[in-house]
A and B are shown apart, each in its own frame.
Chain A
Amino acid sequence: MLTIKKTKQDYITDTVIYLILIVLAVTTLIPLFNILAVSLSDSAKATAGLVTVYPLGFNMTTYMTIFKDHAILTAIGVSFKRVVLSLIVDMVLCVLAAYPLSRSSKAFPFRGVYMWIVVGTMLFGPSMIPMFFTVKDLHMLGTIWALVLPGAVGQFYIILMINYFRSIPQELEESASIDGASPWRRLLQIYLPLSMPIVATIALFVVVNNWNAYYDGLIYSINTDDYPLQTYIQQLVVNLDMSIRDVDQVKNMLAVSNRSLTAAKLVITMVPILLIYPFMQKYFISGIMIGSVKE
């Protein structure tokens, strides 16, 4: 490549660009560091509004309180349970559905009909109220299955998986098929081992989406004991002010809330996402690119 000497103006432009990007990155981090600092600060200092991005009067009492709090521990348990169950159910359904749909219409004549069902239900989904009554009529309200089963078939994941299966060379399968391997063996012994990148991508999607989901917990729960962590947090910090009618009420509400403790609960809820974030960054982006590949 040609190298052309940088002019003085180029250096100035470069400096400005780097500075803007640094400012953007710092702006992204400030609210996150701020909440961490508040959670580790002395309650009085936090209420006085003095905390910026480092803790004042450092202490961990808020975290100690959380680990003795029965309600939040129950909610964390529900969240872990739904993530694990969803991971198993969703992945099995997705892989099993994607394999036949990745066959050609010649090898599997009914493919078109099934594809219509998958894509049709993706584009025109049910609305909130009939969905709620369906779960209610199945007597699943208040159970973990209300959080796992309704969203268990990810049509978008199936399409990602189909595209990936189709990129695997046909010759591999044909030779196995001549050797007399059944479709099940070909899926489990040839296709699945070769598809680990997309399996990992979808598994991460499932984990993040299930961890972050709060709405199903909100409408399908009977007791507060049924809440997953995000719904618990939602009720705690977000839904409190639904009864507010005037400005004074806002002030009163803020005065009684324990700011440091709430901040610590928010931090705890973020931890699992932060832990798997390095893997997500690696796989999500490739996942998005795979998704844009034409079928």
Chain B
Amino acid sequence: MARPRNKEVIHYHIMLFPAIVMLAIFCIYPTLGSVMAFKSFDPIKGIWGSPWVGLDNFRSLFEIPDFKRITVNTITISVVKIVLNVSCALAFALLLNETRVRWFKRSVQTVVYLPFFLSWVIMAGIFKDFFSVEGLINGMITRLSGHEPILFFTSKAWFMAIIYLTDVWKGFGFNAIVFLAALTSINPSLYEAAEVDGASRWKKLTHITLPSIRPTIVLILILSLQGILSGGFDQIFNLYNPLVYSVSDIYDTYIYRMGFQNNQYEFATAVGLFRSAVAFLFIFCSQWLAEKYGDYKVF
């Protein structure tokens, strides 16, 4: 095409104008508002008029014992979830890939993708009922074994088991989509050649299938790093209670309680800013790794 025609460029600016204004108001301006982490917030003076206190909020952040606890919890929960989600999704994709009956494959996919689209509010409501004293699980336990009902949500160990279990339950089908796509792109002549050589199913899995999709697995693991400081706010926020704070409190739930329940706005913002800055580093590294080793580019 020839050199840009100025008349058209003006139209392009006009088209972008509404989106850029919205981003300025609802993204850039509040991001700048994070300076309240360095202030002592006074609701009357607002974010910009409040007095500066330097690094005081961060100093108290690093001093309190909560900080160590939420850091350990967030990273532990994220890592366990990443490992469980990737391995379960992979196992499911490999099993599904072994089936040849199309309607069966389709039906299974339709069923297991469904929970992904339901909100954690709904899921939390369902699971709180499911694991409650009069719920299905405790009903089975009391009737089959005569055991006392288990209080799943107040025992720390059981609660974490439920966090991991429900997370996998909700996401394993949907997370498998990427692996299924990678599996269908494997050249079928590889399998045919292996069959001629008399390779068993297991041999085909370990010598053709897994090596072929290894780049995809590595890529998914690298990209999962981006969420390592999130830990899944919606799930934990909707399922936890004060009895299990010590094992399940993560950055985002802590920021919510400090900010909106204790009204320590500037302190909560300091935690948020610290979290965002470290998360940004993780995103940056993960993108760099993905481009280097995963042959992948988002932008």
Spell out A's residues near B (CB within 8 Å).
1-2, 4, 10, 13-14, 17-18, 20-22, 24-25, 27-32, 34-35, 38, 46-52, 92-94, 96-97, 99-101, 103-104, 106-110, 114-115, 117-119, 121, 123-134, 137-138, 149-153, 158-159, 174, 182-184, 187, 208, 211-215, 219, 230, 233-234, 237-238, 241-247, 250-251, 254, 259, 262-263, 266, 269-270, 273, 277, 280-281, 285, 288-289, 292, 294-295
Known: A38-B129, A124-B280, A184-B11. Contact between A93 and B121, CB under 8 A? Answer: no
Residue numbers in A under 8 Å from B115 (CB-CB): 28, 32
Quick check: B136 and A51 within 8 Å, CB to CB? Answer: yes
- Residues of A close to B11: CB separation below 8 A: 100, 182-184
- Other A-B contacts than A2-B195, A106-B3, 15 sampled, CB-CB below 8 A, are A28-B173, A31-B126, A31-B130, A32-B126, A34-B130, A35-B130, A49-B134, A51-B139, A106-B4, A132-B259, A184-B11, A238-B128, A238-B238, A266-B129, A295-B297
Tell me if B243 counts as interface (CB < 8 A to partner A).
yes
B44 located at the interface, meaning its Cβ lies under 8 Å from any Cβ of chain A in the complex: no
Cross-chain pair count, CB within 8 angstroms: 284
Taking the closest CB of chain B, its distance from the CB of A185, in whole angstroms, is 10
In contact, A127 and B34 (Cβ under 8 angstroms): yes
Known: A251-B133, A259-B129. A149 touches B26 (CB 8 A): yes
Residues of chain B contacted by A149 (CB below 8 angstroms): 22, 26
Contact of A49 among B47, B122, B135 (CB under 8 A): B135
Complex interface: chain B residues within 8 A of A237 (CB) = 124-125, 128
Partner-contacting stretch, out of B62-70, B76-84, B95-103, B206-214: B95-103
Q: Are B151 and A99 in contact (CB under 8 A)?
A: no
CB nearest to A20 among chain B residues? B95
Q: Find B121's partner among A1, A47, A233 (CB 8 Å cutoff).
A: A233
Contact of A121 (CB < 8 Å), options: B3, B23, B201, B280: B23
B110 at the interface (CB under 8 A from A): yes
Q: Which residues of A contact B25 (CB under 8 A)?
A: 134, 138
Contact B121 A230 (CB under 8 A): yes
Q: Which of A17, A127, A280 contacts B255 (CB 8 A)?
A: A127
In the assembled complex, the CB of B243 is this many whole angstroms from the nearest CB of chain A, namely 7
Main secondary structure of the interface of A (DSSP, over half): helix
Q: Does B188 reach chain A (CB closer than 8 Å)?
A: yes
**Shortest beta-carbon distance, A7 to chain B, in Å?**
9
Chain B residues near A250 (CB-CB < 8 A): 151, 153-154
Is the pair A128, B4 in contact by a Cβ cutoff of 8 Å?
no
Tell me how many residues of B have a C-beta within 8 Å of chain A: 100
A261 to chain B, nearest CB (A): 12
Task: Tell me if B142 is interfacial: C-beta within 8 Å of chain A.
Answer: yes
A242 to B153, CA, bound (A): 12
Q: Are A96 and B16 in contact (CB under 8 A)?
A: yes
Chain A residues contacting B224 (CB-CB under 8 Å) are none
- A159 and B268 contacting across the interface, CB-CB below 8 Å: no
Q: Is B293 located at the chain interface by the 8 A CB criterion?
A: no
CA distance A214 to B142 in the complex (A): 35
- Taking a contact as CB atoms closer than 8 A, the residue among A28, A103, A127 that contacts B169 in the complex is A28
A118 to B19, CA, bound (A): 9
Cα distance, A109 to B9, chains bound together (Å): 8
* Contact residues in B for A99 (Cβ distance below 8 Å): 12, 15
Q: A174 near B15 (CB under 8 angstroms)?
A: no
Q: Chain B contacts of A254 at CB under 8 A?
A: 132-134
| Residues of A close to B130: CB separation below 8 A | 31, 34-35
A277 to B109: give the CA distance in the assembly, Å: 12
In the bound assembly, the distance between CA atoms of A80 and B179 in angstroms comes to 35
Chain A residues, CB < 8 A from B125: 35, 233, 237-238, 262, 266
Q: Verify B269–A129 contact, CB threshold 8 A.
A: yes
User: Which residues of the other chain, A, contact B280 by a CB distance below 8 angstroms?
Assistant: 123-124
CB within 8 Å of A: which of B1-30?
1, 3-4, 8-9, 11-13, 15-16, 18-20, 22-23, 25-30
Closest chain B CB from A244 CB (angstroms): 5
B241 near A127 (CB under 8 angstroms)?
no
User: Are A48's CB and B134's CB within 8 A?
Assistant: yes
Interface residue? B256 (CB, 8 A): yes
With known contacts A129-B36, A130-B34, A114–B20 Cβ distance under 8 A:
yes
User: Of all chain A residues, which has the CB nearest B11?
Assistant: A183
Given known contacts A18-B99, A28-B169, A273-B118, A183 and B12 CB-to-CB distance under 8 angstroms: yes
Closest residue on chain B to residue A174 by CB atoms = B1
A31–B139 CA distance with the chains assembled, in angstroms:
14
Report 19 cross-chain contacts, Cβ distance below 8 Å, ordered by A residue. Answer: A2-B192, A18-B99, A21-B95, A25-B112, A28-B114, A100-B11, A117-B28, A130-B47, A130-B269, A134-B25, A153-B23, A159-B298, A174-B1, A212-B118, A238-B128, A238-B238, A243-B242, A246-B243, A266-B125
Given contacts A50-B139, A100-B12, A130-B31, contact A273 B117 (CB under 8 A): yes
- Chain B nearest CB from A269 CB (Å) reads 6
